[in-house]
Amino acid sequence: MNFPVTFLTYMQEALYGPNGYYMVDRSRFGRVGDFYTSTQVSPLYGDLWAHFIAQRPEYRASDITVVEFGIGDGHLAESLVEGLLRHPLVTQAVCYIGLDQSPTALARTRDRLQKLEGRAQVYVVHSVTELPHEVRSRLPGAFVLGNEVLDAIPCEILRVTNSEVSRLMVTTHADWSGIAVGPYAGEKLVTYFEQTQDCSCLEYANRYIRPVNDMDAPIEGVNDDVIAEAGVLLPQFLRHVHETIQPAYIAFVDYGGFAEDLIASDRPQGTLRAYRSHQLLDVFLDQTGECDLTYDVNFTMLTDELERLGYDVVPPVRQGSFFMSLPDIHNFLSERMKEDTKMASALKHLVLPGGLGDRFLISIAQRKGEK
């Protein structure tokens, strides 16, 4: 990296550069990795998504194509496709397309999904441009799903006051000659805030930070300068999903909240976190590529951007309420429990408050005119 760089460039390099966290072959997920997502808790998670997708009226009469963004090691892919194949409402063909920019994610998922050969059409690729023509023609109307992918899209970190927007920069101690050191500084690398006129940073501050923390009457305990992550790449990512696939549905699951939840007195430095071996790291800046970097997703912005692209968006709800209010869920679950008794404790973990049930929000967007 040629320092100084914006935090967004630092995070891009740290996660997706040649030695980036997601690009090298290491164990990231589960007990032996750095963190768990719902997809490693139990295959029940994929089953619950299969139950939701199977009930969409659009897929009753036509084949089901699911496109997953950010496949990780393929845990969700496996349980979701198995769940669709065994679901009583699904009699038609199932096609799964997994997309990820990490070569190890692609390799591990391809291995994991070999067992589906002959039962479902499976494609695991870096980009939809690699798909055969006849498969690309099946993308419009697909169901798009992304589990914990939005929190892995690099962000800016902004400091916003009444009069000024600054963004976090990263440089080396050797090159640093200022007086105020920003958050996350390490032994080698240091951060500082620099005033910016970058349009996407200014727009984010004006839409999602200033209206929430009224700078003239700030939220009690929050200073009149707010530090918050800004997912400035989210609009272009969503446009890419929309334009390359033209899906009927787009579903995202992530931690986060509405704009007003993300600026709170208990988070004076924002929500950025670094994980390694299940430990939350206080000082991580020097460990470029060694740890996961993640932050809370702004679901107000997600909803705004999906609506702007022409989707009806159901107000995001917590994972537990979402799954437990699906039609016919109790019958569905009791059938699954009969087949596998381990599912009962997995269900508690996935849906109860205190577990993952209230940690994650789910946003469902449906293309207008698809109802």
Ligand X SMILES: C[S@@+](CC[C@H](N)C(=O)[O-])C[C@H]1O[C@@H](n2cnc3c(N)ncnc32)[C@H](O)[C@@H]1O
Residues lying near ligand X in the complex (CB under 6 A): 22, 29, 37, 39, 69-72, 76, 99-102, 105, 147-149, 152-153, 237
Distance CA(225)–CA(268), nearest Å, equals: 9
Output the smallest distance, CB 287 to ligand X, in A.
17
The residue (of 22 and 96) whose beta carbon lies closer to ligand X is: 22
Q: Which pair of tokens denotes residue 310? A: 């022409």
CB of 37 to ligand X, least distance (A): 3
For residues 38 and 213, which CB has a smaller minimum distance to ligand X in the complex? 38
Question: Alpha-carbon torsion 36, 258, 97, 52, what sign?
Answer: positive
d(CA 151, CA 135): 29
Most distant CA pair in the chain: distance in Å?
66
DSSP annotation of 102 reads -
Which of 100, 109, 113 lies closest to 148 in space, CA to CA? 100
Residue 199's region, left for phi above 0, alpha for psi from -120 to 50, else beta, is: alpha
Between 97 and 313, name the residue whose CB sits nearer to ligand X: 97
Q: Provide, rounded to whole angstroms, the least separation between the CB of residue 294 and ligand X.
A: 7
Is the Cβ of residue 69 or residue 323 nearer to ligand X in the bound state? 69
CB of 230 to ligand X, least distance (A): 17
Distances (CA, A) of 205 to 129, 167, 188, 254, 294: 35, 11, 30, 22, 20
Hunting for tokens 């939350």 — which residue is that?
Answer: 280
Q: Please, what is the minimum distance in Å from the beta carbon of residue 99 to ligand X?
A: 5
Instruction: Give whichever of 64 and 71 is closer to ligand X, judged by the CB atom.
Output: 71
Instruction: Quote the strand ranges of the chain, DSSP E.
Output: 5-6, 64-69, 94-99, 121-125, 143-147, 156-160, 165-172, 189-195, 226-230, 249-254, 256-257, 273-276, 279-280, 292-294, 297-298, 311-318, 361-367
- Beta carbon of residue 240, minimum distance to ligand X (angstroms, whole number): 8
Least separation in angstroms between CB 371 and ligand X: 28
Residue 216: closest CA among 166, 161, 164:
161
